[in-house]
Chains A and B, each alone.
Chain A
Amino acid sequence: MSFEVVHTSVVRGLRGESGFATAIMTRGLPAGLESGLQDVSGYDHDSARAVGVDTVEWAHRIVTVRGRPYTVLSRVAPNGVDASRRPNRIAHHLVLEPHERALGGPAWMLGQFGAFETGTPEVTERTTPPVLPTGDLPVRAAHAWSAAGFDAGWAGVVAQSLVDHPQAVVYVVLPEALDALPLVIDVLALMPNDRRWHVTFSTRPLVVLPHVRCQLRFVRAEAPGLARMLAEPGARVVRVERDEDAGESDAANAARRGQTVEPTSRPVNTRVNPVVQSALGSSAAGVREQDAFAASTRAGAQVPAAPVAQAERSSFDDSIGAASQASPGRTGTDLVDSFGSARDPRAVQDVARASIYSRSNLQWPPIAIALILYSGLAVLGAVILFLLAAFAR
């Protein structure tokens, strides 16, 4: 069952308190989730100070409360003034069960849900869950990016970063404030259905919380403190300019033509685990499945159990660790730089080359030959010892 929570400044909230309080809540909301949603209800009214690109925050987050992850769709926006005549905001959150996630993806669902509260509502506890949109969003060309004055190929570049690096934070730096939800819908439309809900995002990020996952963040180029934010190690940055072409990569062309963005060749997993190897097989599909599972476990999404040990994590993190050990001459900054460019997938491969182990090293024929050789040597040694003992008598 889905839930909704509306948080804003009211004269008297659901529990009788005044000021910022819960105004609407679905009955039966899991314990602790109300305060967890309050943590993501903030809004910075100072447009010069805000780093986000949109006036309204549209967000899909994974909020972990008491060890359980929840899929949360949010709209946070200004809401006039409250009783004290100071700026008010309204945060409307939808908490979804896994089976309620529409195939169209979280951004499409946000755009289709027409019941977001935009003004101070009547304070009430609702007994019925919100009516959620269902449906799919077919793969299509990134028209919203074109309409906003950007090359549609940029949507493909962003999608490529998300598909290739599901664990990395991706910053999309736009030149000015604009309505960013259609841009997110375009990006997710280029991704396979099973990948769309793995992408968490915010069009007006405010703070980073340890229990909240938000991968894709749309920020303004002129935002204060942006350089420090983008310097976050491992973060990928896509800077979009109006008069700049996104290039001729497969992803950019896919976004222009309306085709699915496929993962680029990924560095193989660097961890050796023969048991997992035998369960997965050695196909590339096995590696992709493994990455998908790692992404979903990190994101807290509920997916069918796969025959993969949880210790087998994504190759992205392993590449960083292996590279930093295998390349003592390279500084951390070098590693950050090599991960910093979203346009050059070779950077990731470069780091992966520094891996100590690779899956291809683990082949059965050499092992069998070695075993036979060792066995032969052991038998030979035993015969020599026997003969020496016989001669000694």
Chain B
Amino acid sequence: MSTRSLVSSVTCPHCWAEFPPAQVRYVAEHAALMGDPVLGDSAAMRFLPSRFDARGRAIDPFGASASRMACMRCHLELPPAALELPQAIVSIVGAPASGKSVMLAAASFSLRSGLVVDGLEFVDADPSLNDLTLELESSLFRSSTPDSPAMIAKTDLAGRLYRSFRVGDANWTAPKPQLFVVGRKGKRHLLCLYDNAGEHFLPGADAPHEPVTRHLGVSRALVFVVDPTQDQRVIERLGGREAVQAVGGAGSIDQRQDLILIEVANRVRRLRGLSAYDPLPFRIVLALSKADIWGSVTDPPIAADFGGFRSGQSIAVPPMEVLQRADATCREFLARYMPELLATARALDPNLRIVPFSGLGNPPSSATLGTRLAIRPRDVKPVWPAAPLVVALSEAEPALFPEHAVG
């Protein structure tokens, strides 16, 4: 039997409780052991084991071997890697309809291909937990019917993306984490990503028993997804609402995205007990989405070749010098059209990084499926989809991506 090295403290990716590995609960396997005081009658019982078999598996009260583990607080299932690998929690934040879900699916799909960064291992920690990202990947990037328009869904505030549990007399709701094992240069991390609805980040939306954005209190990096096509000044520059909507931009939504960034920063400070003088404990990465739509109005235009790097491999993360050129171009673009957002981000993190990307590569069309936004999977050609995530990880874990880390 091989030996396993455990981390000294486990952070539950569901409820973010910290506990020593010895306190991990096991999930009973015996069919008669149904019903759990935290998860309800339809979940298998969780228990703290005192007996183990020769292979190190726990033995449940009815004698069945149990190998699945769960958090001691929320009783939700943990992948074995959670006890062995250090975690890298990345918070993906943004306004409603800014493109967070598409970025997450495009990034995970392209990172899986191995073509994004040399020598990168990227595998699902538990495919059953990542089912939602896998489904979105399947519908947009590896569809069996590439000519049938695929709908771009809106992330709901309830349903399959969330898990509920009961602690004491209170019901808690937590977002379902997307867990991946990321390895490079001999190091491995458990990457935790969350696909929140944009509504969760709006000011005042942080409910006590719906801690769906509490990952901000433990995350190692912050990717703030900005949709420039939601800003009136960009809309006017692109020819008006109808023109922007025609090419798949938001158009009709006018969000104050800088206020959402301030709200997020306030939540980070509150959750970590930071003072107003303390800097944020991570680098802010502004991910400018839908660059295929607004990239033509930058100077120089980045839409044409995304900062001089396209050459067929559009999913690969470009070299550092290309990223820096794109960063400078986007800074100038934001200073001209969305100056308050840039000023807010600079005030929160003077060393912020800006990365443009396009999760779909081509504009979705409402003509293909009635009035709904949809795109033919054959037309999906993402450009730099994983770049914001890799840049954020390079800031959080420089040893993984030293070539993309600043300094």
Which chain A residue shows the least CB distance to B372? Answer: A81
Between A38, A65, A84, A320, the greatest number of chain B beta carbons within 10 A of the residue's beta carbon is seen for A84
Contact with B along A83-114 (1 / 0, CB 8 A): 11111110000000000000000000000000
Partner pick for B97 among A32, A67, A86, A333, CB 8 A cutoff: A86
Residues of A within 8 A of B209 (CB): 32, 35
Whether the Cβ atoms of A85 and B156 lie closer than 8 Å is: no
The answer to whether A209 has its CB under 8 Å from any CB of chain B is yes
Choose the segment among B117-125, B249-257, B295-303, B342-350 that binds chain A (4+ C-beta atoms closer than 8 Å). Answer: B249-257
Contact with B along A42-70 (1 / 0, CB 8 A): 11111001000000000000001111000
How many angstroms from the CA of A89 to the CA of B153 in the assembled complex? 11
Partner pick for A84 among B156, B205, B373, CB 8 A cutoff: B373
Residues of B within 8 A of A116 (CB): none
Whether the Cβ atoms of A42 and B156 lie closer than 8 Å is: yes
Between B38, B156, B198, the greatest number of chain A beta carbons within 10 A of the residue's beta carbon is seen for B156
Whether the Cβ atoms of B156 and A43 lie closer than 8 Å is: yes
B82 to chain A, nearest CB (A): 22
A76 to chain B, nearest CB (A): 10
A300 to chain B, nearest CB (A): 13
How many angstroms from the CA of A67 to the CA of B171 in the assembled complex? 9
Partner pick for A87 among B30, B97, B151, B157, CB 8 A cutoff: B151
Partner pick for B159 among A64, A67, A83, A206, CB 8 A cutoff: A206
Residues of B within 8 A of A36 (CB): 171
Residues of A within 8 A of B156 (CB): 20, 41-43, 89
Whether the Cβ atoms of B245 and A85 lie closer than 8 Å is: yes
How many angstroms from the CA of A32 to the CA of B209 in the assembled complex? 9
The answer to whether B266 has its CB under 8 Å from any CB of chain A is no
Between A46, A64, A89, A211, the greatest number of chain B beta carbons within 10 A of the residue's beta carbon is seen for A211
Choose the segment among A11-19, A124-132, A189-197, A376-384 that binds chain B (4+ C-beta atoms closer than 8 Å). Answer: A11-19
The answer to whether A277 has its CB under 8 Å from any CB of chain B is no
Which B residues between 10 and 67 are near A, CB-CB below 8 angstroms?
A: 30-34, 38-43, 62, 64
Which B residues between 161 and 183 are near A, CB-CB below 8 angstroms?
A: 162, 164-166, 169-171, 173
Whether the Cβ atoms of B151 and A45 lie closer than 8 Å is: yes
Whether the Cβ atoms of B40 and A208 lie closer than 8 Å is: yes
Partner pick for A211 among B151, B154, B166, B198, CB 8 A cutoff: B166
Whether the Cβ atoms of B210 and A18 lie closer than 8 Å is: no
The answer to whether B371 has its CB under 8 Å from any CB of chain A is yes
A33 to chain B, nearest CB (A): 12
Whether the Cβ atoms of B33 and A83 lie closer than 8 Å is: no
How many angstroms from the CA of A239 to the CA of B62 in the assembled complex? 31
Which B residues between 225 and 264 are near A, CB-CB below 8 angstroms?
A: 245, 250, 252-253, 255
Partner pick for A21 among B33, B160, B199, B373, CB 8 A cutoff: B199
How many angstroms from the CA of A206 to the CA of B371 in the assembled complex? 26
Residues of A within 8 A of B245 (CB): 85
Whether the Cβ atoms of A20 and B153 lie closer than 8 Å is: no
The answer to whether B388 has its CB under 8 Å from any CB of chain A is no
Whether the Cβ atoms of A66 and B169 lie closer than 8 Å is: yes
Whether the Cβ atoms of B171 and A332 lie closer than 8 Å is: no
Partner pick for A9 among B154, B207, B371, CB 8 A cutoff: B154
The answer to whether B1 has its CB under 8 Å from any CB of chain A is no
The answer to whether B265 has its CB under 8 Å from any CB of chain A is no
How many angstroms from the CA of A11 to the CA of B341 in the assembled complex? 22
Residues of B within 8 A of A19 (CB): 96-97, 154, 197-199, 202
A225 to chain B, nearest CB (A): 9
B279 to chain A, nearest CB (A): 29
Residues of A within 8 A of B171 (CB): 36, 39, 64-65, 209-211
Whether the Cβ atoms of A88 and B62 lie closer than 8 Å is: no
The answer to whether A336 has its CB under 8 Å from any CB of chain B is yes
Whether the Cβ atoms of B34 and A234 lie closer than 8 Å is: yes
A38 to chain B, nearest CB (A): 6
B138 to chain A, nearest CB (A): 11
How many angstroms from the CA of A32 to the CA of B169 in the assembled complex? 13
Partner pick for A41 among B43, B64, B157, B199, CB 8 A cutoff: B157
Partner pick for B96 among A32, A84, A336, CB 8 A cutoff: A84
The answer to whether A133 has its CB under 8 Å from any CB of chain B is no
The answer to whether B186 has its CB under 8 Å from any CB of chain A is no
Which chain B residue shows the least CB distance to A18? Answer: B96
| Given the contacts A19-B96, A86-B154, A39 and B199 also touching, CB distance less than 8 Å | no
Residues of B within 8 A of A210 (CB): 38-41, 43, 164-166, 171
Partner pick for B33 among A41, A45, A80, A332, CB 8 A cutoff: A332
The answer to whether A324 has its CB under 8 Å from any CB of chain B is yes
The answer to whether B276 has its CB under 8 Å from any CB of chain A is no
| Given the contacts A19-B197, A208-B40, A83 and B207 also touching, CB distance less than 8 Å | no
A235 to chain B, nearest CB (A): 8
Whether the Cβ atoms of A207 and B160 lie closer than 8 Å is: yes
Whether the Cβ atoms of B97 and A84 lie closer than 8 Å is: yes
B136 to chain A, nearest CB (A): 10
Which chain A residue shows the least CB distance to B230? Answer: A84
Residues of A within 8 A of B205 (CB): 17
A88 to chain B, nearest CB (A): 7
Residues of B within 8 A of A324 (CB): 32, 62
Which chain A residue shows the least CB distance to B30? Answer: A332
The answer to whether B135 has its CB under 8 Å from any CB of chain A is yes
Contact with A along B125-149 (1 / 0, CB 8 A): 0000000000100000000000000
Which chain B residue shows the least CB distance to A39? Answer: B158
A52 to chain B, nearest CB (A): 12
Whether the Cβ atoms of B96 and A85 lie closer than 8 Å is: no
How many angstroms from the CA of A169 to the CA of B34 in the assembled complex? 13
Residues of A within 8 A of B165 (CB): 210
Which chain B residue shows the least CB distance to A82? Answer: B154
Residues of B within 8 A of A181 (CB): none
| Given the contacts A83-B253, A210-B40, A320 and B32 also touching, CB distance less than 8 Å | yes
A339 to chain B, nearest CB (A): 10
How many angstroms from the CA of A320 to the CA of B153 in the assembled complex? 43
| Given the contacts A210-B39, A211-B171, A41 and B158 also touching, CB distance less than 8 Å | yes
Chain A positions within 8 Å of B, measured between CB atoms, are: 9, 11, 15, 17-21, 32, 35-36, 38-46, 49, 64-67, 80-89, 169, 206-211, 232-234, 320, 324, 331-333, 335-336
23 pairs of residues in contact across A and B, judged by CB atoms under 8 Å: A17-B199, A20-B199, A21-B199, A38-B158, A42-B157, A42-B159, A43-B159, A64-B171, A66-B170, A81-B371, A83-B253, A84-B97, A85-B373, A86-B97, A87-B154, A87-B372, A206-B160, A207-B160, A209-B40, A210-B41, A210-B166, A211-B164, A324-B62
The 5 closest A-B pairs by CB, nearest first: A42-B159, A210-B40, A332-B31, A42-B158, A332-B32
Q: A206-B158, A234-B34 are in contact. List 18 more A-B contacts (CB 8 A).
A: A15-B204, A17-B199, A19-B197, A21-B199, A35-B210, A39-B158, A81-B371, A82-B154, A85-B372, A86-B152, A88-B154, A169-B42, A207-B158, A210-B43, A211-B164, A332-B30, A332-B31, A332-B33
